[in-house]
Structures are given as structure tokens and as C-alpha cells.
């Protein structure tokens, strides 16, 4: 089975093609486009390129297309990318304006270009549908919650992969199997061990998730990807009274406020330098106080959420760093975990700062809680879940 995984942004289109012969997807091709104005056009071009390169003989060779869709409100899980999915994306576009419209356009494009393929949507929120009720609510009236004002959580594919891989590394194969089949079978007691993992997905968009036996117990992100940790140029958590204050004291319209909070805030707003942590680190090393503040703000926010979930879970067997910043910024990892020896969390500075890449343990031998770096593998998860959906719906 060949599965095409589409990653769509407002002006970007990236894709990977996988062969699904075994449990682990085999990457056959990967490419992408920037400054996209017509998703249907680049979809057609990508299929022609795969044929020209001899990767496929015909577009009909592709049996499944997987989408890492973001927010469908109460529509979630791993589902058919059909009219119900499209309506859910469009109904929630105001909460995910940078994500939902491109995915809706992409799904429609693939419906036209690959009419014989099965299109599958794996929502970012899917991993959080079994969170405890108190973790899914805000303290708002019931009618607000019924209207969709609740915590959905995001980066589900990434955190689910971390849950699976952490169980494998611990030798808990039954638990890993249970987590892998979560979207098909739901939560299971198979392999249950009270295995507690805190996953830190840190990149251009960041979140922290608490997991017990592979089931999410809380997410730093809430109703939209706008919330939680400071994002690259999105604000993260913010007191709701800031919005009426900005209208009165700064004379900003709601449209202007939305633009500032989604495009000019986060690490960019704090640093005044860049939304890229590498540029911010360089500026901080040169003595830029605002850049230093941005780094401290991000590390402190991650630390706050790790602390929250350490207490929520009653401890943790694993703390995992993943995604671009989490995998590559040793100094930030150290800032997050420094001084926690009394809690049984001891980072090994040599392992942490070694410059190695890939999967590795970076905690000291006497650390009660192991600390790991595990590279993100969201496309792999989408491909595998797409295959599983197709096999279970034939």
C-alpha cells in the first residue's frame, strides 16, 4: 500500500510518500512547495513529479492520502476526509485560520485528483478525546462549553508517537501495542502499568502533554493553537481582559488585535528580533536583553507546565523533548530541568550537551525520572493511522 501524507499551510504544501509493507512506513519520496496560491495546482504537480521520477506508474498507485488536520470541534479522531470532515474544518476555521482553510482546500483537491484513493483525516485533537473532564473544561457557563469553548489540545500525532516510543524503550510491548491501536480500539487496560510520561513538543509551535499509559491527562494547549506556551509569533496564554484593554488604551480594532496576537506576539513579540529561537539565542549571546527575556520566558513556561503535570501524574517515569527546539537546544533543556534533583530529575550535562543527534537518553544514571530526546515523527504516525483506517474500513 502507498500512502501520501499531505502537510498543508496557508501558502505551503509539503508531502511524503510511504510504502506500507511493514509496521514501519518506508519513505519513498518527500518534497514541498512554498508561496502556494492554488493547492489543486501543486497537488497535480506533485503527482506528475512522482510519475516522472519513476516512484509511481500512475496516480492510482496511491491507495491512501493522510491529512494531519487540526481542529474540527466535536468532530475528531481518525476519520474519513469527507463532507462531514470538510464541514467541521470550515465551521472551526475562525479558531484555526492558518490551518483549517488550507486543509479543506487540500482535501477537495485530492478528491478531484485521486478519486479512487481513500482520504483520511487524523485530527490533532484526536489524542485528547479521552482526557479527564476537568482537563477539557474552562470555568465558563455550560452553554459556553456546549458552544465549543473548551480545551481540545493539539500536536496529538507527535505526543502519541512519544507515548508509543517511550513504552517501547521501557520494554512495555503490550502497552505500546495498546497505544498504537488507540484510535481503533479506544483506551484499553492491556499492558497498563501506570507508566507516566511528560512530553515536551517544542518548535515553532509548542505544547506540553501529560500521559498515563498512553492516555492524555492534560495539554498546555486549549481551545485553539493560540494558547499555552508562547509560540513563534502567537501569544500563548493571555488574560482575557487584555483584549478590551487593548481596544480602549491602544485604540485597536478586533481585527488588529487578532493580527497582533497571532502574527506579532509570542517569541517575536517578546524578543523584537525574530520568531526563530536560533536567532533569538544569537541575539541573547550578544547581550540583547529582550532576546534573553524571550528565552527565559519560553524555558520558564515549559518548566511551569512540566511541574504542573509532574504533580498531576504524581511523578513521571519519562520526560521527553521532541520537535525542532526540543531536539536541538541543549541549553533550553537544561534551563527547563535545572535544580530538580530533590524531585529525582537529574540531567547529565555531558549527555545533554554532547551535540549528538537522534534518539538518546540525557539524564544521569542516578535520575529517578529518565529524560530523553526523541525525534518527532508525525508524518510516520499519519501514514500508519491512514493504513489502519483503510484496513479496518474495507
Is the domain of 112 the same as that of 234? no
| 135 falls within a domain | no
The pLDDT of residue 98: 83
- d(CA 256, CA 246) in angstroms, rounded, equals 10
> Given pLDDT bands bounded at 50, 70 and 90, which one contains residue 143?
very high
Secondary structure E strands in the chain: 2-8, 12-19, 26-34, 62-67, 78-80, 118-122, 196-201, 207-212, 215-219, 318-322, 360-361, 370-373
> Given pLDDT bands bounded at 50, 70 and 90, which one contains residue 121?
very high
Domain extent, residue 69, equals: 2-123
- d(CA 316, CA 194) in angstroms, rounded, equals 9
- Average pLDDT score over residue span 96-119: 92
- CATH, residue 244: 3.30.420.40
| 26 falls within a domain | yes
- Average pLDDT score over residue span 222-232: 92
Longest dimension (CA), the chain: 62
Binding site per annotation, positions: 7, 14, 276-278, 324-328, 378
The pLDDT of residue 293: 97
Question: What are residue 212's DSSP bridge partners?
Answer: 196, 215
Residue 375, all three cell numbers: 525525534
- d(CA 325, CA 168) in angstroms, rounded, equals 24
| 128 falls within a domain | no
Is the domain of 333 the same as that of 198? yes
The pLDDT tens digits for 339-364 are 999 999 999 999 999 888 899 999 99
Binding site per annotation, positions for Mg(2+): 7, 378
| 133 falls within a domain | no
Looking up cell 541575539, which residue turns up?
Answer: 283
> Given pLDDT bands bounded at 50, 70 and 90, which one contains residue 203?
very high
The pLDDT of residue 377: 86
Residue 373, all three cell numbers: 530526546
pLDDT at residue 222 greater than cutoff 90: yes
Is the domain of 176 the same as that of 89? no
| Residues 6+ away with beta carbon under 8 Å from 63 | 1, 2, 3, 117, 118, 390
CA 270 to chain CA centroid, Å, is 22
Instruction: Identify the three-state secondary structure at position 197.
Output: strand
Residue 118, all three cell numbers: 481513500
- d(CA 144, CA 36) in angstroms, rounded, equals 37
| 391 falls within a domain | no
DSSP string of 45-78? Answer: HHHHHHHHTTS-SSGGGEEEEEE-----TT--SE
| Residues 6+ away with beta carbon under 8 Å from 284 | 291, 292, 294, 295
- Out of 1-15, 95-109, 235-249, give the one with best mean pLDDT: 235-249
- d(CA 117, CA 63) in angstroms, rounded, equals 5
pLDDT at residue 126 greater than cutoff 90: yes
pLDDT at residue 72 greater than cutoff 90: yes
Threshold 0.75, pTM exceeds: yes
Binding site per annotation, positions for ATP: 14, 276-278, 324-328
Is the domain of 118 the same as that of 189? no
Looking up cell 466535536, which residue turns up?
Answer: 74
- Average pLDDT score over residue span 54-62: 92
DSSP single-letter state for residue 240: T
The total of structural domains in the chain comes to 2
Higher-scoring residue by pLDDT: 10, 77 = 77
Q: Which of 85, 105, 123 is the last residue of a domain?
A: 123
The pLDDT of residue 185: 87
The pLDDT of residue 24: 77
The pLDDT tens digits for 289-348 are 999 999 999 999 999 999 999 999 999 999 999 999 999 999 999 999 999 999 999 999
Residue 256, all three cell numbers: 488588529
The pLDDT of residue 12: 83
| 29 falls within a domain | yes
Is the domain of 116 the same as that of 181? no
> Given pLDDT bands bounded at 50, 70 and 90, which one contains residue 38?
confident
pLDDT at residue 191 greater than cutoff 90: no
The pLDDT of residue 97: 86
Residue 149, all three cell numbers: 469553548
pLDDT at residue 166 greater than cutoff 80: yes
Average pLDDT, rounded, for the chain: 93
Q: Which of 53, 88, 123 is the last residue of a domain?
A: 123
H-helix or E-strand spanning residue 169: helix 156-169
Is the domain of 100 the same as that of 197? no
Terminal CA-CA length for the chain: 13
Is the domain of 187 the same as that of 70? no
Is the domain of 280 the same as that of 221? yes
- Average pLDDT score over residue span 117-142: 95
| 144 falls within a domain | no
Is the domain of 84 the same as that of 190? no
Q: Positive or negative CA dihedral for 118, 124, 125, 129?
A: positive
Residues 367, 370, 371, 377, Cα dihedral to 10°: 170
Is the domain of 22 the same as that of 104? yes
Is the domain of 339 the same as that of 193? yes
Is the domain of 197 the same as that of 318? yes
| 145 falls within a domain | no
Amino acid at each position: 500500500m502507498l500512502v501520501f501524507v499531505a502537510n498543508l499551510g496557508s501558502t505551503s504544501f509539503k508531502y511524503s510518500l510511504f510504502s506500507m509493507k511493514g509496521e514501519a512506513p518506508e519513505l519513498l519520496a518527500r518534497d514541498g512547495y512554498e508561496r502556494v496560491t492554488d493547492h489543486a495546482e501543486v497537488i497535480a504537480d506533485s503527482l506528475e513529479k512522482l510519475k516522472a521520477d519513476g516512484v509511481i506508474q500512475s496516480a492510482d498507485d496511491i491507495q491512501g492520502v493522510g491529512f494531519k488536520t487540526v481542529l474540527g470541534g466535536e468532530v475528531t479522531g481518525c476519520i474519513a476526509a469527507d463532507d462531514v470532515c470538510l464541514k467541521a474544518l470550515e465551521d472551526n476555521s475562525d479558531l484555526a485560520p492558518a490551518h483549517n482553510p488550507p486543509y479543506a482546500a487540500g482535501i477537495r483537491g485530492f478528491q478531484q485528483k485521486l478519486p479512487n484513493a481513500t482520504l483520511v483525516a487524523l485530527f490533532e485533537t484526536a489524542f485528547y478525546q479521552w482526557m479527564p473532564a476537568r482537563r477539557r473544561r474552562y470555568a465558563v457557563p455550560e452553554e459556553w462549553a456546549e458552544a465549543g469553548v473548551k480545551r481540545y489540545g493539539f500536536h496529538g500525532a507527535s505526543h502519541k508517537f512519544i507515548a508509543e516510543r517511550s513504552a517501547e524503550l521501557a520494554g512495555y510491548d503490550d502497552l505500546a501495542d495498546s497505544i498504537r491501536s488507540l484510535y481503533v480500539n479506544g483506551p484499553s487496560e492491556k499492558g497498563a502499568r501506570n507508566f507516566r510520561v511528560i512530553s515536551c513538543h517544542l518548535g515553532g509551535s509548542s505544547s506540553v502533554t501529560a500521559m498515563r499509559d498512553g492516555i492524555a491527562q492534560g495539554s498546555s494547549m486549549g481551545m485553539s493553537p493560540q494558547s499555552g506556551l508562547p509560540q513563534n509569533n502567537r501569544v500563548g496564554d493571555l488574560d482575557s481582559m487584555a483584549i478590551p484593554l487593548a481596544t480602549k488604551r491602544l485604540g485597536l480594532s478586533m481585527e488588529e488585535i487578532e493580527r497582533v496576537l497571532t502574527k506579532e506576539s509570542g517569541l517575536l513579540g517578546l524578543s523584537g528580533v525574530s520568531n526563530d529561537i536560533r536567532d533569538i539565542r544569537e541575539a541573547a549571546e550578544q547581550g540583547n536583553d529582550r532576546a534573553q527575556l524571550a528565552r527565559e520566558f519560553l524555558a520558564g513556561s515549559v518548566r511551569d507546565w512540566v511541574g504542573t503535570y509532574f504533580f498531576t501524574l504524581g511523578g513521571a517515569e519519562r520526560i521527553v523533548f521532541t520537535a525542532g527546539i526540543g531536539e536541538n537546544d541543549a541549553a533550553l533543556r537544561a534551563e527547563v530541568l535545572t535544580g530538580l534533583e530533590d524531585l529525582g530529575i537529574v540531567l547529565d550535562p555531558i549527555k545533554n550537551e554532547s551535540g549528538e543527534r537522534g534518539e538518546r537518553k540525557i539524564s544521569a544514571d542516578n535520575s529517578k525520572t529518565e529524560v530523553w530526546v526523541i525525534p518527532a515523527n508525525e508524518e510516520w504516525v499519519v501514514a500508519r493511522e491512514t493504513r489502519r483506517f483503510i484496513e479496518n474500513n474495507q
